[in-house]
Amino acid sequence: MILQHRLKANSDRLDIELVKHYGNLPQVECYAGQQNQVFMNVLSNAIDALEESLANNQAQITSPTITIHTEQVDTDQIEIRIADNGLSIPESVRQRLFDPFFTTKPVGKGTGIGLSISYQIVTEKHGGSLSCTSEPGEGAEFKIRVPVRQEVSKNVAIGV
Ligand SMILES: Nc1ncnc2c1ncn2[C@@H]1O[C@H](COP(=O)(O)OP(=O)(O)OP(=O)(O)O)[C@@H](O)[C@H]1O
Ligand SMILES: [Mg+2]
C-alpha cells in the first residue's frame, strides 16, 4: 500500500505489475514493524531496479513485474520471495549486497543501508535467512525465511 504510488505509470515509464502468489501462512511470531521495514526495503529496491532497466531501454523489459510468493516451507518456517524482472545483479555486486553502505545508486538516491539493515533484522533478530539469486537476463529474487516461533532463549539474548 505504501509503495503503490511508485508502481503507477508516469510520463517516463509503464505501470509496474504486482503479481501476488500468497500461500496459507500461519500466525508468525515476529517484530512486525521491523519485518515491514525489510519488505519495504526489498520492494523499493525492486522498483528502483525496474525503473533503471526501463530508463536504460532494456529490450527485455516489456512488462515490468514484481512477483511475491509466500509459503509455509515446513512446520516451523515460512518463506517470502520477492522477484523482479529488471536488470540482473552481477556476481561482483551480489557478493556485497548486504554490506553496510554498499550502493550502486547515485549520490542522494541510495545510502546502501537498506539491505544491510534488512539482513540484520532477518538473521540476528529473527533467526532467519535472507538471500538473493539472480540469473543473467532474468532479474533478481530475494528470499526471506523466518521461523514461525521465536525461541525464548534467543529473545532473552536480544534483550526482550
Ligand atoms: N532487485 C534488485 N535488482 C538489482 N540490484 C539490486 C536489487 N536490490 C538491491 N540491488 C543492489 O544492491 C545495492 C544495495 O541495496 P541497498 O538497499 O542496501 O541500498 P540502496 O538501495 O542502494 O540504498 P538505500 O539505503 O536507499 O536502500 C543497490 O544499490 C543495488 O545495486
Ligand atoms: Mg535500497
> Using one digit for the tens of pLDDT, what is the confidence trace for 46-93?
999 999 888 886 555 678 999 999 999 999 999 999 999 998 999 999
CA 21 – ligand 1 centroid, Å? 24
pLDDT tier, 96 (very low <50, low <70, confident <90, very high otherwise): very high
pLDDT at res. 154: 57
For 112-149, write each residue's pLDDT tens digit: 999 999 999 999 999 999 999 999 889 999 999 999 99
Structural domain includes residue 4 = no
Structural domain includes residue 3 = no
> Which neighbouring-strand residues pair with 18?
66
Total domains present in the chain? 1
Question: Counting every residue, how long is the chain?
Answer: 160
Structural domain includes residue 67 = yes
Half-sphere exposure of 55 (CA within 13 A, CB side): 7
Structural domain includes residue 57 = yes
Question: What CATH number is given to the structural domain containing 75?
Answer: 3.30.565.10
Residue 42 in contact with residue 82, Cβ under 8 Å?
A: yes
pLDDT at 160 over 80: no
Can you give the residue range of the structural domain that contains 123? 17-157
Provide residues with CB under 6 Å of ligand 1: 41, 45-46, 49, 84, 86-87, 89, 93, 97, 102-105, 110-116, 140
pLDDT at res. 155: 54
Integer CA distances (angstroms), 103 to 90, 94, 114, 147, in order: 13, 11, 9, 29
pLDDT at res. 12: 72
Structural domain includes residue 150 = yes
Residue 127 in contact with residue 76, Cβ under 8 Å?
A: no
pLDDT at res. 59: 53
Structural domain includes residue 111 = yes
**Ligand 1 test: best mutation among 56, 67, 105, most atoms within 8 Å of CB?**
105
Burial class (CB in 10 A: 0-12, 13-18, 19+), 127: middle
pLDDT tier, 14 (very low <50, low <70, confident <90, very high otherwise): confident
pLDDT at 107 over 70: yes
SS3 content of the chain, % helix, strand, coil (to 5): 30, 25, 45
Structural domain includes residue 5 = no
pLDDT at 4 over 80: yes
CA 152 – ligand 2 centroid, Å? 31
Structural domain includes residue 143 = yes
Report residue 59 CA to chain centroid gap.
Answer: 24
Cell numbers for 44: 523499493
**Ligand 1 test: best mutation among 103, 107, 122, most atoms within 8 Å of CB?**
103
